[in-house]
């Protein structure tokens, strides 16, 4: 693959259509120099026939598609989805032809990303890490467009693995070809984070068939003209069934009901509102009412009552990682825009010559404070992308090991598979919450680097910010993710196997420090931050052991942030170590040497400027157990 630095998709920087910037060299570094995808995953079942050149070709084709997606980036925002007077949902006109292309040329790749996928034997099979990096291009080019049918492969996987034969026969053929799409319907006006408040109900009609009644809100791509039918996975409660708040069931509700002859008939699903919102305006976020104008029929998933949370767990994990992927994709482009702008914009003299009126005016990239912002953006984008790569690498390894065990009959150690699974699961809440918080910071910093220009609408930055903010809110708010990390993934620190696995991985990295004397101070900082993180988890465990859960709830988000910072520093240091090695080889081209030196700079910046705050947060958790938990809500003052 030829190295191409900082490619602009869709035109030059001076045209309003130039939206999405992407660094192909970065992707090659991840694939071939860090994760050694060729050594571990290509040429091995199930990717036996897949070669490096097939991967290169895939990226080149994806780049062309992303160019067309990027050309509709502004149009999607300026021609927003809305409910028309005739009751139909309008979506940006530019999305209609794009959908045809996407469905025809790329839907198969999204399907390969699912663990139990429909594999078309005529297609080359790619590992998850490759799929993740390709889909990053699409999400970065046009996140609003990518929301359409985004949930379809996961819904198909759920129905394939959990559905009854009738349900598979009814829905899978059309979902697998993307003739129909799917959405997830959990949220209701009174049930957001608290799904136990869900009040949608279902009364049994016969066998696995139910009549569903209720209202769901904000549903992404809930109604649109792109597909012939939409299948809703609806969370609800069975009338006369188990009354426990946890007793939630999942119903497969099509917008149009397919009758015995295959005709699609109205299923009484109304769209009563399309939200007017901050960003992702090309995507229709809908309020849906079931069962008001007639009977809305739906099948109980797997004909299993009260099993929704278990049935949908894998799908929710995937949605969280998908959220992080949008964050990295968009914030990466925001960083690259800032870099390009800072190189061109000339303003002021160097700090130490500010009083010299004859001092040359310099590009802002030479000012230390702009370098600070650019380095922070660079480090966060690279470190968080690597976190996603770790997850998809573990998933790729699971896919490979399971395939070899089940299909080739090889003797594979179960523990090996389980360890990959534990780590991928441990990282999932960070992929959602840490990345969405940090990518928001990156985008706001990108606006700052651009000065006034960043605030204007002929650059993509302000739209990036508006599009990205939702990532900290949907798929479980970031607090809910941090609670999941501390309580469910780490069991409040009680003998967490996942934490031991994680510690082992970082220790392996630390054990190689002598090979990289140029990074000695950074390895030392990582080692002490890891120790602080472990000691904080022990503190949390002590609070838990004496039943002081409320104290812990004050610290969950901060703990997740600390954890994310340690993971990011570890990632950057691994990358810097590879770069340090590469820099020792003579005859590096200038561009290559710059690239590798940049890796050392990212790691150094993050370790010395961001990572030290892990220790201060650890200190707060150790000593300030009553920092604010005792405030009476009235004491905030000001009431309306
Ligand atoms: C653009 C968009 C797309 C969406 N797409 C979908 C979709 O496709 N399907 C779907 O089902 N839903 C969807 N949603 C809904 C989304 O998942 C919810 O908005 C989200 O789960 C948060 O719920 P809420 O908005 O009611 O916030 P709330 O639950 O009211 O939370 C408000 C604040 O209180 C905090 N909070 C809440 N409970 C607790 C607690 N127990 N402890 C501490 N803090 C708490 C939250 O962290 C948050 O900061 C979408 C929303 C938007 C805006």
Q: Mind listing the pLDDT tens digit for each residue in 476-487?
A: 999 999 999 999
**Is 115's pLDDT higher than 60?**
no
Q: Quote the CA–CA distance of 52 and 50 in Å, as a whole number.
A: 7
DSSP conformation class of 333: H
Atom of ligand 1 nearest to the CA of 221: 8
What pLDDT score does 495 carry? 75
CB 598 less than 6 A from any atom of ligand 1: no
Residue 479 CA: which ligand 1 atom is closest?
47
* Listed residue (314, 396, 391, 418) closest to 46, CA to CA: 396
Instruction: Report the nearest atom of ligand 1 relative to the CA of 220.
Output: 8
> Within 10 A of 165 (CB to CB), how many other CB atoms are there?
7
**Is the Cβ atom of 218 under 6 angstroms away from ligand 1?**
yes
Rg (CA), the chain: 25
This model's pTM is above 0.85: yes
Beta strand ranges found along 405-534 (DSSP E): none
Q: From CA 62, how far away is CA 389, in angstroms rounded?
A: 18
Q: How far is the CA of 291 from the centre of ligand 1 (A)?
A: 24
Which residues make Cβ contacts (< 8 Å) with residue 104, sequence separation at least 6? none
Give, for ligand 1, the residue of 150, 182, 187, 286 to mutate: max count of ligand atoms closer than 8 Å to Cβ: 187
Asked whether the predicted pLDDT for residue 470 surpasses 60, the reply is: yes
Pocket test for ligand 1, best of 183, 193, 282, 429 (most atoms within 8 A of CB): 193
Ligand 1 atom at shortest distance from the alpha carbon of 184: 9
User: DSSP string covering 526-595, please?
Assistant: HHHHHHHHHHHHHHHHHHHHTT-HHHHHTTHHHHHHHHHHHHHHHHHHHHHHHHHHHHHSSS--HHHHHH
CA of 196 to the centre of ligand 1 (A): 13
Q: How confident is the model at residue 516 (pLDDT cuts 50, 70, 90)?
A: very high
| pLDDT tops 90 at residue 631 | no
pLDDT band, residue 108 (cuts 50/70/90): confident
Assess whether the C-beta atom of 193 lies below 6 angstroms from ligand 1.
yes
Is any ligand 1 atom within 6 A of the Cβ of residue 362? Answer: no
Tens digits of residue pLDDT in 219-233: 999 999 999 999 999
Residue 173 has pLDDT above 60, yes or no: yes
Q: How far is the CA of 314 from the centre of ligand 1 (A)?
A: 19
| Cβ–Cβ under 8 Å, residues 560 and 481 | yes
Dist. CA 577–CA 604, nearest whole Å: 11
The pLDDT of 64-82, averaged and rounded, is 95
Residue 625's CB: how many other CB atoms inside 10 A? Answer: 15
Query: Closest ligand 1 atom to the C-alpha of 476?
Result: 21
Predicted pLDDT of residue 11: 44
Helix 497-510, helix 520-545: angle, nearest 10: 160
Most informative mutation of 474, 475, 551 for ligand 1 (most atoms within 8 A of CB): 474
Closest-lying ligand 1 atom to the alpha carbon of residue 477: 47
Q: Where are the beta strands (DSSP E) in 50-188?
A: 82-83, 89-90, 180-185
E strands in 549-605? none
pLDDT at 5 over 50: no
Contact call for residues 288 and 231 (beta carbons, < 8 A)? no
pLDDT tens digits, 442-454 = 999 999 999 999 9
pLDDT bucket at 606, cuts 50 / 70 / 90: very high
Q: Given the structure tokens 């950074």, which residue do they identify?
A: 522
- Counting Cβ atoms within 10 Å, is residue 32 exposed (0-12), middle (13-18) or buried (19+)? middle
């Amino acid at each position: 693959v030829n190295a191409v630095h900082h490619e602009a998709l869709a035109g030059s920087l001076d045209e309003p259509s130039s939206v999405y910037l992407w660094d192909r060299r970065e992707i090659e570094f991840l694939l071939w120099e860090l994760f050694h995808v060729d050594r571990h995953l290509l040429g091995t079942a199930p990717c036996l026939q897949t070669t490096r050149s097939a991967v290169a070709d895939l990226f080149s084709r994806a780049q062309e598609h992303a160019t067309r997606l990027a050309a509709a980036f502004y149009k999607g925002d300026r021609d927003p989805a809305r409910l028309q007077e005739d009751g139909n949902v309008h979506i940006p006109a530019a999305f209609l032809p794009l959908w045809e292309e996407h469905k025809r040329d790329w839907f198969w790749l999204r399907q390969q990303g699912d663990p139990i996928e429909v594999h078309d034997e005529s297609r080359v099979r790619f590992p998850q890490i490759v799929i993740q990096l390709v889909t990053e291009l699409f999400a970065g080019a046009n996140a609003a467009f990518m929301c359409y049918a985004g949930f379809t492969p996961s819904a198909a996987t759920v129905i394939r693995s959990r559905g009854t034969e009738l349900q598979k026969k009814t829905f899978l053929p059309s979902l697998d070809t993307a003739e129909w799409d799917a959405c997830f319907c959990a949220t209701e006006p009174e049930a957001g984070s608290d799904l136990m408040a869900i009040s949608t109900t279902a009364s049994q009609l016969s066998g696995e068939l139910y009549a569903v009644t209720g209202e769901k809100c904000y549903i992404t791509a809930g109604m649109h003209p792109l597909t012939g039918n939409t299948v809703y996975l609806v969370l609800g409660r069975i009338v006369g069934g188990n009354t426990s708040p946890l007793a939630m069931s999942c119903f497969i509700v099509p917008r149009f009901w397919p009758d015995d002859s295959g005709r699609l008939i109205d299923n009484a699903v109304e769209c009563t509102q399309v939200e007017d919102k901050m960003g992702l305006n090309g995507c229709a976020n809908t309020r849906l009412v079931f069962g008001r104008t007639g009977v809305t029929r739906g099948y109980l998933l797997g004909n299993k009552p009260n099993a929704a949370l278990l049935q949908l767990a894998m799908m929710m994990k995937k949605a969280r990682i998908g959220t992080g992927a949008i964050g990295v994709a968009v914030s990466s482009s925001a960083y690259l825009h800032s870099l390009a702008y800072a190189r061109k914009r000339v303003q002021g003299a160097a700090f130490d010559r500010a009083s010299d009126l004859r001092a040359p005016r310099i590009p802002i990239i030479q000012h230390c404070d702009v370098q600070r912002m650019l380095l922070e953006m660079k480090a966060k984008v690279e470190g968080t992308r690597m976190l996603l790569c770790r997850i998809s690498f573990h998933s790729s390894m699971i896919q490979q090991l399971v395939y070899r065990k089940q299909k080739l009959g090889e003797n594979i150690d179960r523990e090996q598979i389980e360890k990959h699974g534990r780590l991928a699961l441990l990282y999932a809440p960070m992929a959602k919450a840490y990345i969405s918080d940090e990518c928001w910071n990156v985008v706001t910093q990108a606006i700052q680097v651009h000065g006034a220009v960043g605030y204007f609408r002929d650059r993509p930055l302000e739209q990036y910010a508006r599009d990205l903010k939702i990532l900290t809110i949907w798929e479980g708010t970031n607090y809910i993710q941090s609670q999941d990390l501390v309580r469910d993934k780490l069991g409040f620190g009680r003998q967490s196997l996942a934490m031991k696995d994680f510690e082992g991985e970082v220790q392996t990295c630390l054990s190689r420090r002598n090979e990289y004397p140029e990074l000695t101070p950074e390895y030392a900082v990582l080692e002490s931050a890891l120790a602080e993180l472990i000691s904080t988890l022990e503190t949390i465990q002590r609070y838990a052991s004496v039943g002081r859960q409320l104290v812990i709830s004050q610290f969950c988000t901060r703990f997740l942030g600390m954890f994310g910072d340690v993971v990011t520093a570890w990632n950057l240091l691994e990358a810097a170590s590879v770069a340090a090695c590469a820099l020792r080889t003579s005859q590096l081209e200038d561009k290559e040497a710059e690239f590798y030196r940049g890796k050392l700079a990212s790691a150094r910046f993050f370790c010395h400027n961001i990572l030290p705050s892990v220790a201060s947060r650890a200190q707060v958790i150790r000593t300030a157990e009553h920092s604010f938990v005792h405030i009476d809500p009235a004491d905030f003052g000001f009431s309306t």
